[in-house]
């Protein structure tokens, strides 16, 4: 009996990760964090649709205000601009300081109580925006922190099944797993339609193009 | 210029840790977490008095509801009993699953934005309640997770200056550093006066007795 917690943001990487977790687990538990990021309503809507679609054993929906209070990211600080995609290689301003550690800590606390076996997170290392909290070495270190900082009987493995995949590979795999891409939101800008020009949109559009699959969501740039 | 974030709960260990941090740092930043634990009002009052007393450069006061939602601890689940102190050696029911990881993650996000150098936490390893998230090995692993999961230029050291001290040693040191022990709350029960019989009260009372110092707070058991 494998009980797995999946961090489901409402984006495409965590959606495909949820589908993989579903194949590898007996029970799924979906965890969603609203951290007052610009697009939280869009992501929350997607999450609710994914809960309907995948029907997990339980759901934990959390809201925190501290990441916005702390700021330092264009996703939470509305006075900072969401920049168009560039190729500087620097950590982009959309980086939310140490965000994935918060997600893993919440999943661990929950996992310790419900006696889960695994935490799935849809981080992507190479073909992504260059966030330091998406590196595999970070997840290995967090797994060790979790092992040492919880009860002896708590054994939680962190699984990152798409971490070394390209975005196009993730789209292809999601397509094979028949994931509902129409219920995913990637854009960093909080417009009615996805902008098509921010870091996250550019990576998504390119991925669908390379995979030769039609992205079912509409974009502003195509209007 | 050393900028230090101190996790100040309102208890005696973090109070003495704050005094030590004050000696070792140029600027202090106090972080307090209300996680809807039973005694949050008492701890918050102490925290506010300590902010007045130590006058840090900045203060971050955070409230989260998810640790109570997740439960699994007698400190957050009011249907669970706060037990009197025993000597079984097991992790007590007051353990809040992975709580210190949340505190460190919040401190790290804040520290990354304000470019802090250190995070001080008043964990005690040996002479304490046996919580796994108080072991030095856990803090070393978290320090590595922080190093790997943040920007290259972010260097945050976790300092645990009282981790190998006895509770009595902490009282003695606090006394030498003239900390205001009257502004600290240790009791797990949310009564008007500290109960004097829960794990936390028993450890505190014994510590003051061994140190030969009068605890300035009143106890129910002495009434």
pLDDT for B159 beyond 70: yes
Q: How many CB atoms lie within 10 A of CB A76?
A: 23
Residues of chain B contacting residue A99, judged by C-beta atoms under 8 Å apart: 109
pLDDT of residue A111: 98
Long-range contacts of B209-217 (CB under 8 A, 24+ apart): B210/B166, B210/B167, B210/B168, B210/B171, B211/B168, B211/B169, B211/B171, B211/B172, B211/B175, B213/B171, B213/B172, B213/B175, B215/B181, B216/B181, B216/B182, B217/B181, B217/B182, B217/B184, B217/B185
Nearest alpha carbon to residue A73 among A93, A43, A101, A46: A93
Mean pLDDT in residue range B66-91: 87
- In the prediction, which pLDDT does A222 show? 65
Quick check: A201 pLDDT over 90? yes
Domains delineated in chain A: 3-166 (3.40.50.620)
CB B97 within 8 Å of CB A113: yes
Q: State the pTM of this model.
A: 0.95
Instruction: Report phi then psi at A6, rounded to 5.
Output: -115, 130
pLDDT at B40 over 80: yes
Q: What is the pLDDT of residue A127?
A: 65
Tell me how close the Cα of A29 comes to any Cα of chain B, in angstroms.
13
* % of chain A at pLDDT higher than 90: 85
Query: What was the pLDDT predicted at A223?
Result: 53
Chain mean pLDDT for chain B: 94
The distance in angstroms from the start CA to the end CA of chain B is: 48
CB contact under 8 A, B98 and A70: no
Does B197 score more than 80 pLDDT? yes
Task: Tell me which chain A residues have a C-beta less than 8 angstroms from the C-beta of B64.
Answer: 64, 66
3-state helix, strand, coil in chain A (%, to 5): 45, 15, 45
The stretch A103-131 carries a mean pLDDT of 93
Do the Cβ atoms of B138 and A152 come within 8 Å? no
Interfacial residues of A (vs B; Cβ cutoff 8 Å): 60, 62-67, 69-72, 91, 95-102, 105-106, 108-110, 112-113, 132-133, 135, 137-138, 141-142, 144-146, 148-152
Mutate to test the interface with A, among B68, B100, B145, B147 (most CBs of A within 10 A): B145
pLDDT at B69: 96
Kindly provide the ipTM of the predicted complex, given to two decimals. 0.93
A190, A38 Cβ separation under 8 angstroms: yes
Please say if the pLDDT value at position B83 is more than 90: no
Interface test with B, best of A35, A36, A66, A90 (most B CBs within 10 A): A66
Distant-in-sequence, close-in-space partners of B112: CB < 8 Å, separation ≥ 6: A72, A97, A98, B150, B151, B154, B156
How close A166 comes to chain B (CA, Å)? 21
Q: Cβ contacts (< 8 Å) between A151 and chain B: which residues?
A: 91, 95, 132
Interchain CB distance below 8 Å, A97 and B109 = yes
Nearest to B113 among A71, A91, A132 (CB): A71
Write down the pLDDT at residue B222. 65
pLDDT at A87: 67
Cβ(B182)–Cβ(B143) below 8 Å: no
The pLDDT value given to residue B223: 54
Which range is least confidently modeled, B6-10, B76-80, B206-210? B76-80
Res. A178: pLDDT tops 90: yes
pLDDT band at B87 (very low <50, low <70, confident <90, very high): low
**Residue A102 and residue B106: Cβ atoms within 8 Å?**
yes
pLDDT of A134 strictly over 70: yes
Which positions in chain A touch B96 (Cβ < 8 Å)? 109
| Residue range A186-210: mean pLDDT, rounded | 93
User: Distance (Å) from the C-alpha of residue B108 to the closest C-alpha of chain A?
Assistant: 7
Query: What is the pLDDT, as a whole number, of residue A84?
Result: 83
Q: What is the pLDDT of residue A145?
A: 98
Q: What is the largest CA-CA distance in chain B?
A: 56
CB B139 within 8 A of CB B164: no
Which pLDDT belongs to residue A132? 93
**Predicted local confidence at residue A37, as pLDDT:** 93
Q: What is the mean pLDDT of residues B82-99?
A: 85
Answer yes or no: is pLDDT of B107 > 70: yes
Q: Are A184 and A45 in contact (CB under 8 A)?
A: no
Cα→Cα distances A7→A59, A119, B144, B155, B218, Å: 10, 7, 22, 27, 46
Residues A141-172 have pLDDT tens digits of 999 999 999 999 999 999 999 999 999 999 99
Look at A62 and B72 and tell me if their CB atoms are within 8 Å.
Answer: no
Residues A50-98 pLDDT 10s: 999 999 999 999 999 999 999 999 999 988 988 887 767 788 898 999 9
């Amino acid at each position: 009996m494998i009980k797995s917690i999946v961090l489901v943001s409402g984006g495409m990487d965590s959606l495909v990760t949820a589908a993989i977790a579903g194949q590898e687990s007996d029970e799924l538990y979906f965890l969603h964090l609203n951290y007052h990021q610009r697009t939280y309503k869009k992501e929350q809507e997607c999450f609710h649709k994914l809960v309907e679609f995948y029907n997990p054993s339980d759901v934990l929906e959390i809201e925190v205000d501290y990441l916005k209070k702390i700021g330092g990211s264009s996703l939470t600080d509305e006075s900072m601009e969401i920049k168009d995609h560039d190729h500087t290689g620097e950590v982009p301003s959309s980086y939310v300081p140490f965000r994935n550690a918060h997600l893993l800590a919440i999943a661990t606390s929950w996992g310790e109580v419900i006696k889960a076996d695994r935490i799935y997170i849809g981080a992507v290392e190479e073909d992504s925006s260059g966030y330091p909290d998406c590196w595999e070495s970070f997840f290995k270190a967090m797994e060790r922190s979790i092992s040492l900082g919880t009860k002896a009987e708590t054994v939680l493995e962190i699984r990152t099944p798409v971490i070394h995949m390209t975005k196009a590979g993730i789209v292809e795999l999601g397509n094979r797993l028949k994931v509902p891409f129409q219920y995913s939101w990637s854009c960093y800008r909080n417009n009615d339609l996805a902008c098509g020009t921010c870091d996250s949109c550019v990576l998504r559009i390119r991925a669908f193009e390379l995979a030769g699959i039609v992205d079912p969501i509409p974009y502003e740039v195509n209007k």
